[in-house]
Amino acid sequence: MSTSQHFEHSFHALGSEYVTPTAATPVSAPKWLAWNNRLAEQLGWPEAWGHNEQTLITLAGNGQFEGSQPGSAAYAGHQFGNYNPQLGDGRAILLGEWRRPDGQLFDIQLKGAGPTPYSRGGDGRSPVGPVVREYLMSEAMHSLGVPTTRALAAVATGDPVYRQQLEPGAILTRVAKSHIRIGTVQFFAMTRQGKGLKELVSYVTQRHYGAALQKAQALNPQATHAQVLLNEVTRALANLVAHWQSLGFIHGVLNTDNMLLCGETVDYGPCAFMDTFAAGQVFSSIDTGGRYAFGNQPGIVHWNLSVLAQCLLPLIDEDQEKAVAVAQKSVDQFPTLFTDIYSARLAAKFGLDAMRDSDHALIESFFSQLEEDKLDFTLAFRWLTEVANGNMDATILESLFTPSSGLLNWQTQWSNRRLQATSASCEHMKTANPVVIPRNHWVAQAIGMAEAGDNELMETLQSRWQDPFNWHAGDEQFAAAPKREEQVHRTFCGT
């Protein structure tokens, strides 16, 4: 397919040790599952490559965009704390980079497009379920304001994929600021590819944190790319996990190969949003020890950053003691950065102008009350929003959420604290506490229907979740907590 616009290939240009040429494997009967016209417009994607038959064929791997250079990338990673030296894009193929009209560069990747040199005997495919989940979840996360990869399209292949049983196959077109991971750095550090590691770090720093690099080197000409990268990734990941915690999102598989250096959420395999609040909540079927439980996420991200720091030591300073001191200082920023960002997000959620030291006990007692009374995380916060704004009679929330006696007692303390807040803080609550989130039971229903060839619910959910902070007609369904028989207790990677 031809257009006057074109792909770029700055990552490919680093060399074959970074990206191995890899062709997609054709499929038998491609069919649209979804096309994200809103994202296409934001990318400045050519109309000729839009929602049409030729684009469908190309995104299914049966054709190729002019100027694309399909390839798969190497990376390693710690999986549940255990190091695996050889992972890589086992089912993903990078087509190239696309420059948005504002100059921002994005990777365009096909996920589930067939075997690659890193498939390790796998088929390189994905069932419909994981594709639908990632499409819906990543777009909902974007609308909630969370840094995330996005989904341009989802295509059914017409071919079966065997996992626990035969399932219909699909391919996701994923868009990211880049797919370079902590695990990518690990691969080059652990294989002792010093030149490759240095080039990678220089590339990533300039691509994602060029302004920070210029600023750091203006203040200190000796500042290295590695030092700046570690500082900026620490900030980006503190911001990311603070977003997750403020919304009740559980990633489920926070291995180092699932942490992007650009600070976006990636790999939505066993992810889920909490319904009833529980600090130790786990959904992922493979997280049997609770390593990646909701309350553990900040600590795990901090641990992953320490792995990144260790890999970067040779590039931070030739003197190992100095390098360790600099790296330690960077990584040690994480708890404070996370706490500051998370506290600011909590202040907005509770309708406070700013967090005071005395507020922490009030907020902890709120979460304890939610857990004790098994109350819905999202609805409880929206209840606070409507109470603060005097809107309870004007919304359907009263029929969806009944506060416990303990929560009503807590409300008295909170209302007294809010007497010192400004009216603007009420407005901030409306954009901090969503009406709807991508509830697990709705995602599961959409997957079931898509597997049967019906995309209607998938389209409905995508549309509704684009505006999560406002009430819509029909939210008696979409804002409600799941009924007992609808609750999802376990999620699966599925790919």
DSSP string, 477-490: HHSSPPPGGG----
Which residue segment(s) compose the domain that 171 sits in? 12-179
Q: Establish if 451 belongs to a structural domain.
A: no
Q: Which residues are within 8 A (CB) of 229 and not within 5 positions of it... i.e. 6 or more apart?
A: 201, 204, 205, 209, 261, 312
Q: Are residues 142 and 269 in the same domain?
A: no
Q: Establish if 269 belongs to a structural domain.
A: yes
Tens-place pLDDT, residues 299-333: 999 999 999 999 999 999 999 999 999 999 999 99
Q: Establish if 213 belongs to a structural domain.
A: yes
What is the pLDDT, as a whole number, of residue 482? 94
pLDDT bucket at 191, cuts 50 / 70 / 90:
confident
Quick one: 449 exposed, middle or buried, by C-beta within 10 A (0-12, 13-18, 19+)?
Answer: middle
pLDDT bucket at 4, cuts 50 / 70 / 90:
very low
Of the residues 107, 257, 275, 287, which is catalytic? 257
CA distance 50 to 46: 7
Q: Are residues 257 and 168 in the same domain?
A: no
Q: Are residues 149 and 211 in the same domain?
A: no
Q: Are residues 158 and 141 in the same domain?
A: yes
CA distance 164 to 353: 51
Q: Which residues are within 8 A (CB) of 70 and not within 5 positions of it... i.e. 6 or more apart?
A: 21, 22, 23, 24, 64, 93, 94, 95, 110
Q: Are residues 166 and 195 in the same domain?
A: no
pLDDT bucket at 489, cuts 50 / 70 / 90:
confident
CA distance 201 to 281: 35
Instruction: Identify which of 288, 286, 309, 298 has the alpha carbon closest to the alpha carbon of residue 495.
Output: 286
Tens-place pLDDT, residues 42-77: 999 999 899 999 999 999 999 999 999 999 999 999
Tens-place pLDDT, residues 247-268: 999 999 999 999 999 999 999 9
Instruction: Identify which of 193, 233, 257 has the alpha carbon closest to the alpha carbon of residue 18.
Output: 193
Mean pLDDT throughout 152-164? 95
CA distance 380 to 376: 6
CA distance 481 to 461: 15
Q: Are residues 106 and 71 in the same domain?
A: yes
Specify the 3-state DSSP secondary structure of 148.
strand
Q: Are residues 130 and 216 in the same domain?
A: no
Quick one: 192 exposed, middle or buried, by C-beta within 10 A (0-12, 13-18, 19+)?
Answer: exposed
CA distance 181 to 237: 12
Query: What region, left, alpha or beta, does residue 173 occupy, with left being phi > 0 and alpha being psi -120 to 50 degrees?
Result: beta
Contact 454, 413 (CB under 8 A): no
Q: Are residues 281 and 155 in the same domain?
A: no
Q: Are residues 173 and 227 in the same domain?
A: no
What is the pLDDT, as a whole number, of residue 390? 86
Q: Establish if 425 belongs to a structural domain.
A: no
For residue 389, pLDDT over 60 is answered with yes
CA distance 334 to 443: 33
102 is catalytic: no
Last residue in a domain, options 179, 194, 226: 179
User: In the beta sheet, which residues pair with residue 376?
Assistant: 276
Residue type, 434: P
For residue 5, pLDDT over 80 is answered with no
Q: Give the lowest-confidence range in 4-18, 259-273, 398-412.
A: 4-18
Give the helix/strand (H/E) hosting 429. Answer: helix 423-430
For residue 337, pLDDT over 50 is answered with yes
| Strands 31-35 and 150-162, sheet pairing | antiparallel
* Chain centroid to CA 191: 28
Tens-place pLDDT, residues 16-50: 999 999 999 999 999 999 999 999 999 999 998 99
Last residue in a domain, options 179, 211, 226: 179
Q: Are residues 107 and 234 in the same domain?
A: no
* Chain centroid to CA 85: 24
Report residue 384 as tokens: 């606070």
Q: Are residues 195 and 158 in the same domain?
A: no
Instruction: Identify which of 237, 321, 248 has the alpha carbon closest to the alpha carbon of residue 279.
Output: 248
Q: Which 8-state DSSP code applies to residue 172?
A: E
Q: Establish if 64 belongs to a structural domain.
A: yes
Specify the 3-state DSSP secondary structure of 325.
helix
Q: 74-88 burial, b if ≥16 CB within 10 A, otherwise e?
A: bbbbbbeeeebeebb
CA distance 395 to 415: 20
Q: Establish if 400 belongs to a structural domain.
A: no
The proportion of the chain whose per-residue pLDDT surpasses 70, expressed as a percent, equals: 98
Number of domains into which the chain is organized: 2
What is the pLDDT, as a whole number, of residue 420? 84
Q: Establish if 356 belongs to a structural domain.
A: no
User: In the beta sheet, which residues pair with residue 107?
Assistant: 97, 176
CA distance 183 to 30: 33
Q: Are residues 301 and 193 in the same domain?
A: yes
Last residue in a domain, options 309, 343, 377: 343
Q: Establish if 306 belongs to a structural domain.
A: yes
